[in-house]
Amino acid sequence: MADENIRTELGELKIANEVVGIIAGLAATEIEGVAGMSGGIAGGIAELLGRKNLSKGVKVEVGEHETAVDLFVVVEYGVNIPGVSQEIQANVKRAIEVMTGLRVVEVNIHILGVHFQHQTVSEEKAEESPARVK
């Protein structure tokens, strides 16, 4: 894993790839409509990862002055996916450039799933409904 090295008059600054990945993950999850990041498809099921592991679902390539980012995202059902993707790209690019000084050349979005809100039936309503089998 290559780290970003910036040489100044006073010394050297090293930015680890994981730092850029965390910045990208946090910037992506700030966007409304993003349910979470996906660490990949294991057994055909995309696993949602919470804010505790923000570098998961992010692949970063860092050069001397530039970086490229791939984000693996799960979106909420009903959102405009192209619109949310554009917002993610803009927010990730801005966050990385402001915080690290690196020029972002690509922010690729990979939508790996759609998250549905589960509606639970309350126990009261379940008791009121007639039994289907006797």
Q: Which residue has the tokens 């660490």?
A: 39
Single-letter code of the amino acid located at 55: S
Q: What is the mean pLDDT of the chain?
A: 81
Helices (H) and strands (E) in the chain, counts: 3, 7
- What integer pLDDT is reported at residue 118 of this predicted model? 65
pTM attached to this predicted model: 0.75
Phi, psi of 32 (to 5 degrees): -65, 130
- Would you say 37 and 74 are in contact if contact means Cβ atoms under 8 Å apart? yes
CATH, range 4-128? 3.30.70.1350
pLDDT in tens, 6-18: 667 888 878 889 9
**Residue 55 pLDDT class (50, 70, 90 cuts):** confident
Residue 69 has pLDDT above 80, yes or no: yes
Residue 52 has pLDDT above 80, yes or no: no
Residue 106 has pLDDT above 70, yes or no: yes
Residues 63, 48: Cα–Cα separation, whole Å: 29
What average pLDDT does the segment 18-43 reach?
Answer: 85
- What integer pLDDT is reported at residue 81 of this predicted model? 97
Domains of the chain, by residue range, sit at 4-128
